Amino acid sequence: FAIDFKHLNIKTVRMLILLGLLVGVAGDLPVHCTYKQIEGNWVFTLNSETFKPSLQDSQTYCGHGQPDQVLNIKPSKVFSFEKPLKEEVTLSEPNTATSSTYGKGTWTMIYDEGFLVSFAGIEFFTYSLYVKKGKNYASVCDRTTLGWYKQADSKWGCFFAEKKDKAESYSVQPELTVKWVEPSYMSFLQKAQLYDDYKEAVEQINSSQSSWKADLSPQFLGLTVSEVSSHFGSKKPKPPGPFSSFIESKTSLTPSELSKLSLKDQESLLYFWEKKLEDIPSSSLPQSWDWSDIDGTNYVSEPRQQGNCGSCYTVTAVSMLEARLRIYTSFEFDHLLSMQYLIDCSFYTEGCDGGYPTLLNKFISEFGIVSEECMPYLAKNNQCKFSCQDGVKVSVKDYGYVGGYYGASNEENIMKELRARGPVIANFEPSWDFTLFKSGIYQSFSRRETSTELNDLDMREAELDWERVSHSVLLVGWGEENGQKYWKAINSWGTKWGENGYFKIKRGTDECSIESMAEAAVPYVVSYN
C-alpha cells in the first residue's frame, strides 16, 4: 500500500497536512515517563490513616478531582502525612514487584502517565509527578503525585512515592490547549477550514490506492477540522498484572478441546472463558472470527456516538463489558451500561478530556457500574449524581493489558483473548485520513516505515519504550481478504461513519500502533431486575 504523491496537487497536499496536524490534539495529563525511568528501587510513603471509600467523599480522591483534572503542582511541592508509613518496593523487568513487607507481586505502566503495583493483600496506583513551570509542565519521573492504596480489608489510603535512584525530569510538556504547530511555510493554512472542503482529498486518496475507500462522513459535515479533532481524543500528543494468566487452568488442552475454538455452539463459545492464553496455540485459532456475526447473532452493542467529548475510551470500555456479558450469560443480561457514570464519577480519569480503559476497569472493580437508563449519556462532564430504579449493577473481577503489562500485547495474544472471552479494547494513533474512511481495509496515508513494523513482536521485544496512541476502539474479530489480514473493529462515531460504524484495519504489523496497547476485563453481574 502506498500513495503516489506525484499525482497529488499542492492544494490537496496542503489540506492533508492540515488534517494531519490535528489528529490527537485533545489531551489529558501533561506527563510522559517510560518504564525504563520507572523501574528501580522506590520508597512508598503511606498515610497510615485509612478510610472506607465513597464516591461522595472527597477523601477518596486523594487530592484529585471527580473527574480528575490537571493539578497545579509547583516544583517546590513536598508531600507529607502526619502519620507516615514507609515501605521499600522494587520494580523490575518485565513486570515483577518485590517488597520485604508485601512479598512478590506485579506491576505495569499505565501508558506513560503512572503505574499500578499489585501484591497479595494490597494494591497501589499513582501518577508520575508533573510540575508547573511558567506556562509549561515538566515530568518528574522519580517522584509521584498523591495516589491510592487499597488493602484486602477494603480500607483505602493515600500515598506518594520517591525513587531511591534518581532520574532526571524527562521533558517539558505544553499546556493542555489545542496547539497548531505550523512551520513558517504553512502560514497560508486557515485554522477554521471546514471538513466539507476535503472532497478533493477523498478523490485523491481513492485514485492513489485500492486498499480502502474514502468519503466524507455525514456526521462531520459543517464542522471545522478543529472540531472534528475532538472526536479522537483520549490522550495527548507527546514526544516520541499478568492478564494472560490471571485465571488458574490446566497447562494443556487436548485436540478435541482445541477444535472448539472454531465451533460456534454455546458450549464452545464459553469453553475458553477460564483458560490461560498460553494454553491456546496460535495454530489452533480459526482463520476468521467475528463476535458481531456468530452465525447471524450479534453480541456487540450498536455503534455509539461519542459526540463532542473525548470519551472514546469510555465507549470502548462499556461496549467491551456489554458484549462479554452477553456472551457469558447467553443474552440473559442484555442491558446497556452508563458511559456518563464513568465520565462523571471516576477520579482516575479526566472525563471528556480523556483517560485509559484499564483505569476505568479498575474503578468499576471497586465501585461497579450502573445502567445507561440510570445515568444517560450527555457527552459532557457533569456531576456524579444518580438515582437508579432498575437495580442493574455490574463489576469486574480481573482487568489489565493483554499480555500481562503495558507493552506486552501483540497480534497473537490479542487474537487468543478475543476468541476466549470476547471483544478486546485497542488503542491506536490514526492519521487524519481515518475520518474519511468508508470501506475496505484501512492503512494510514502516513503509515510507518516497513522497518518499524512489529510483525510478531510486542513492544518490549522490539525494544520500544512507548508508542503514541490517541483513540480507543473495540476489536470484535479478525479475518483475511485478498491476502490481506485485518482486524474488524467498532468505532465510536455512530452508524453513519465507515461501514455502519465498523471498520477493518491491517493486522499483524502494528498498523497505527493498533496492537501496542490492548486491554480487557472479565465482568460479572452484581444485580439486575
> Who contacts 252 (Cβ-Cβ below 8 Å, separation ≥6)?
279
Q: Would you tell me how many other CB atoms lie within 10 Å of the CB of residue 473?
A: 26
Residue 502 within a domain: yes
Residue 393 within a domain: yes
Helix (H, G, I), strand (E, B) or coil at 210: coil
Domain finish residue from 107, 130, 163: 163
Residues 365, 475 within the same domain: yes
Residues 124, 268 within the same domain: no
- Whole-structure pTM value: 0.84
Helix (H, G, I), strand (E, B) or coil at 163: strand
- List residues with catalytic annotation: 312, 471, 491
Write down the residue that cell numbers 437508579 correspond to.
388
CA–centroid distance for 19 within its chain: 23
Residue 51 within a domain: yes
pLDDT of 202: 76
Q: pLDDT tens digits, residue range 95-121?
A: 999 999 999 999 999 999 999 999 999
* Residue 474 phi, psi (nearest 5): -115, 120
Residue 252 within a domain: no
Domain finish residue from 128, 163, 198: 163
pLDDT of 223: 75
Residue 333 within a domain: yes
pLDDT of 389: 80
Number of domain units in the chain: 2
pLDDT < 50 stretches in the chain: 1-27, 169, 173-192, 234-251, 448
Domain that holds residue 468: 263-455+463-527
- Nearest Cα neighbor of 485 from 434, 425, 441, 433 is 441
Round the CA-based radius of gyration of the chain to a whole number and report it: 23
pLDDT of 200: 72
CA distances to 60, 91, 121 from 115, in Å: 19, 10, 18
Residue 398 within a domain: yes
pLDDT of 452: 56
Residues 144, 281 within the same domain: no
Residues 284, 431 within the same domain: yes
Residues 449, 316 within the same domain: yes
- DSSP 8-state class, residue 357: H
Per the CB < 8 A criterion, the answer to whether 427 and 519 are in contact is yes
Rounded Cα gap, residues 125 and 343, in angstroms: 19
Rounded Cα gap, residues 64 and 62, in angstroms: 6
pLDDT of 447: 52
Residues 137, 269 within the same domain: no
Domain finish residue from 163, 183, 203: 163
Helix (H, G, I), strand (E, B) or coil at 92: strand
Helix (H, G, I), strand (E, B) or coil at 281: coil
Residues 306, 443 within the same domain: yes
Per the CB < 8 A criterion, the answer to whether 228 and 23 are in contact is no
Written as one letter, the residue type at 241 is G
Rounded Cα gap, residues 52 and 32, in angstroms: 31
pLDDT of 451: 53
Residue 181 within a domain: no
Residues 278, 150 within the same domain: no
Rounded Cα gap, residues 135 and 174, in angstroms: 8
CATH code, domain carrying 126: 2.40.128.80
Q: pLDDT tens digits, residue range 485-514?
A: 999 999 999 999 999 999 999 999 999 999
Report CA torsion sign: 282, 287, 289, 294: negative
CATH code, domain carrying 418: 3.90.70.10
pLDDT of 455: 66
Rounded Cα gap, residues 89 and 78, in angstroms: 20
Residue 224 within a domain: no
3-state secondary structure string, 247-260?
CCCCCCCCHHHHHH
pLDDT of 224: 67
pLDDT of 466: 86
